[in-house]
């Protein structure tokens, strides 16, 4: 699917749909309210999500990977699985807006890790954007001014683990078809989550299974609509639209979950998103060089 910069409105609309899908994922996980352990919830979400791989099963069976590729996919599956567990854990403990705002740190981590893992250069402007994003995270966390929850530390870990997962995907995308990179992630994450889920297993109710099934559907729909958005317009057009997710998350938390509106979280999320938008723009300007594109937030 090729990028067509001539359809910015279409790209923006698809990115709005993506945001709505991911906010729905967040709200549904919040509804679980910790009744199903995070590792088990994540495992069930991915097991159900395997249904969406049926159209590519024949291609999956025919794929031949080198030992190195198998190792990298295995590492990515484990890293992503741990990130998903931490994300589900955070959702059970933090307001929706805080989880959404801290998710914006993932592209910042990608920018930093690309320097060490891919040998990319970090120009002064990008360094300033990264520093601004980290200051935005401090505005959200405000260490020393309030008591931090384990969920905050879990979200910091989530964003970092998702960034590592994305960078491995970037390496593999030059060697394996994109559809197979996505499919293999689903399979390896399901396998990676299995032992963690079995260790804390409780029998979920039919209602909770229904919620988890909806999480799988909305997450899959969100990733698909994101792909359509990228195909219709450049990332520089679609990336700023992801800020709407924070707006919707704040409204969702206030209206449906009686979560107080925290202006520091909104301010910090705005600063992070502005930094991400700047990094995206700078990478578009330098797109003729080998610069890692900004990764969008990854939901479970």
Which pLDDT tens digit goes with each residue over 267-277?
Answer: 999 999 888 88
Percent of the chain with pLDDT over 90: 42
Q: pLDDT grade, residue 193 (50/70/90)?
A: very high
Residue 122 has pLDDT above 90, yes or no: no
Q: What is the pLDDT of residues 12-45, one digit of tens each?
A: 888 899 989 999 999 999 999 889 999 999 999 9
SS3 4: coil
Q: Where are the domains of the chain?
A: 8-285
Beta strands in 48-207 (DSSP E): none
Cα distance between residue 87 and residue 105, in whole Å:
13
The pTM is what? 0.85
Burial class (CB in 10 A: 0-12, 13-18, 19+), 30: buried
Residue 88 has pLDDT above 70, yes or no: yes
Report CA dihedral (55, 230, 181, 154) to the nearest 10 degrees.
Answer: -120
């Amino acid at each position: 699917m090729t990028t067509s910069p001539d359809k910015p409105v279409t790209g923006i609309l698809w990115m709005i749909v993506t945001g709505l899908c991911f906010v729905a994922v967040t709200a549904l996980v919040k509804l679980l309210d910790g009744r199903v352990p995070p590792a088990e919830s994540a495992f069930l979400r991915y097991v159900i999500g395997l249904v969406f791989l049926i159209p590519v099963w024949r291609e999956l069976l025919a794929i031949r990977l080198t030992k190195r590729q198998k190792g990298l996919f295995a590492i990515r599956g484990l890293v992503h699985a741990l990130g998903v567990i931490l994300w589900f854990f955070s959702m059970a403990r933090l307001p929706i807006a805080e989880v959404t705002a801290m998710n914006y740190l993932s592209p910042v981590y990608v920018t930093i890790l690309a320097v060490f893992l891919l040998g990319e250069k970090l120009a002064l402007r990008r360094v300033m954007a990264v520093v601004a994003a980290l200051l935005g995270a401090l505005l959200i966390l405000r260490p020393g001014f309030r008591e931090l929850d384990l969920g905050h530390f879990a979200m910091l870990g989530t964003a970092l683990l998702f960034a590592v997962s994305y960078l491995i995907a970037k390496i593999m995308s030059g060697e394996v078809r994109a559809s197979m990179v996505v499919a293999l992630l689903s399979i390896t994450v399901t396998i990676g989550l299995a032992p963690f889920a079995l260790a804390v297993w409780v029998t979920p109710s039919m209602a909770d299974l229904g919620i988890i099934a909806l999480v799988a559907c909305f997450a899959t729909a969100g990733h698909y609509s994101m792909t359509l958005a990228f195909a219709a317009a450049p990332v520089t057009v679609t990336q700023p639209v992801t800020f709407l997710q924070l707006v919707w998350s704040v409204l969702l938390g206030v209206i449906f979950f009686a979560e107080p509106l925290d202006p520091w979280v909104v301010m910090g999320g705005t600063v992070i998103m502005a930094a991400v938008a700047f990094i995206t723009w700078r990478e578009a300007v330098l797109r003729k060089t080998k610069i890692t594109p900004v990764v969008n937030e990854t939901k479970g």
